[in-house]
């Protein structure tokens, strides 16, 4: 038989490439992705590239405005706070404790949530319903409130906050994954695979997971933005990161007394928080739209 030239059009691509094409066409999502990646790199490398130490005090440069102000100095690009600490260095390190730890919390939640969610989705009857309805109770409480309750039990501290956030995010996660799995299970190709003689593990591996992991990424981004906000909120309430730690929420709280004298010390961490959450949401939203578009096409 003659070798055919196969038609290699845009529509003739793998589902993943399709998704990327739809995602790319959404410019705001793409910008969000770049900002997200930049923040992630910053979170990893901040201690190495920050010009000053986190708690290095410069007694001769207290409450210095940013360098573009007439009174500012170029050595302290974003100015200094009430104790003469370089704000740029603190904000960079804040990316590690706020954004980095939020990613860590969201990843851990994903790991635990996917395992439990898949288990809940694959089991039937009493086991599944106990897991589900217990989780329904916790779903009624907002995640921040739940995190505060858990911190109240564990005691304040940054790592405790991470655990609190993991526990607070977990119920939604398990619920979403369970629904995804249950939805997949009713599809014809899963029935077909079962008829081929595949056991539960094989159905999960080749039938369900390849079809839901993109949705899991969407849930991941949503829980990530919640995690960033919760870590910052707990830090601001002084339940999370404690005073000298450079964490955006804690920096905000620390400098709140200086708000009239040095508004940049409050505005800058706020803006960063805003950018971090916005970029995460843009990526998540873009991904969700791309998934919808792919399903429609």
Under DSSP, is residue 57 helix (H, G, I), strand (E, B) or coil? strand
Interface with other proteins includes 1 (CB under 8 A)? yes
Minimum distance, C-beta of residue 6 to other proteins, in the bound complex (Å): 6
The answer to whether 38 and 295 are in contact (CB under 8 A) is no
Interface with other proteins includes 201 (CB under 8 A)? no
Which residue blocks in the chain are alpha helix, DSSP H? Answer: 15-24, 27-49, 87-94, 101-122, 126-139, 143-154, 158-185, 188-195, 200-202, 209-236, 248-254, 264-296
Chosen residue from 31, 198, 216, 237 binding other proteins by CB under 8 A: 198
Interface with other proteins includes 296 (CB under 8 A)? no
Interface with other proteins includes 10 (CB under 8 A)? no
User: What value, to the nearest 5°, has the Cα angle with vertex 246 and ends 275 and 218?
Assistant: 40
Minimum distance, C-beta of residue 15 to other proteins, in the bound complex (Å): 6
Minimum distance, C-beta of residue 5 to other proteins, in the bound complex (Å): 10
Cα separation, 199 vs 193, whole angstroms: 9
Under DSSP, is residue 85 helix (H, G, I), strand (E, B) or coil? strand
Interface with other proteins in residues 50-79 (CB under 8 A): none
Stretch that binds other proteins, among 55-63, 100-108, 130-138, 193-201 (CB under 8 A): 193-201
Chain residues binding other proteins by CB under 8 A are 1, 4, 6, 11-12, 14-15, 187-189, 191-198, 202, 206-207, 210-211
């Amino acid at each position: 038989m003659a070798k055919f030239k196969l038609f290699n059009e845009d529509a003739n691509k793998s589902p993943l490439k399709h998704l990327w094409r739809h995602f790319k066409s959404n410019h705001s999502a793409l910008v969000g992705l770049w900002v997200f990646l930049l923040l992630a790199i910053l979170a990893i490398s901040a201690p190495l590239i920050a010009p000053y130490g986190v708690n290095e005090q410069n007694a001769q440069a207290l409450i210095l405005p940013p360098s573009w102000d007439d009174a500012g100095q170029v050595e302290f690009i974003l100015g200094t706070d009430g104790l003469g600490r370089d704000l740029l260095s603190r904000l960079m390190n804040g990316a590690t404790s706020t954004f980095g730890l939020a990613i860590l919390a969201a990843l851990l939640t994903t790991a635990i949530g996917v395992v439990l969610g898949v288990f809940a989705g694959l089991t039937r009857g009493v086991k599944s319903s106990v897991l589900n309805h217990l989780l329904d109770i916790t779903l009624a409480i907002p995640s921040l409130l739940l995190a505060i309750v858990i911190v109240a039990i564990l005691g304040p501290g940054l790592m405790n906050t991470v655990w609190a956030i993991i526990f607070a995010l977990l119920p939604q996660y398990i619920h979403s994954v369970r629904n995804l799995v249950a939805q997949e299970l009713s599809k014809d190709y899963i029935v077909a695979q079962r008829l081929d003689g595949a056991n539960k593990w094989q159905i999960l591996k080749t039938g369900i997971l390849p079809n839901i992991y993109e949705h899991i990424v969407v849930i991941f981004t949503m829980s990530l933005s919640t995690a960033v906000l919760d870590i910052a909120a707990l830090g601001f309430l002084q339940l999370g990161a404690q005073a000298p730690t450079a964490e955006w929420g804690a920096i905000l709280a620390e400098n709140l007394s200086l708000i009239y004298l040095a508004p940049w010390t409050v505005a800058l961490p706020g803006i960063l928080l805003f950018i971090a959450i916005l970029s995460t949401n843009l990526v998540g939203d873009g991904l969700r739209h791309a998934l919808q578009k792919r399903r429609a096409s």
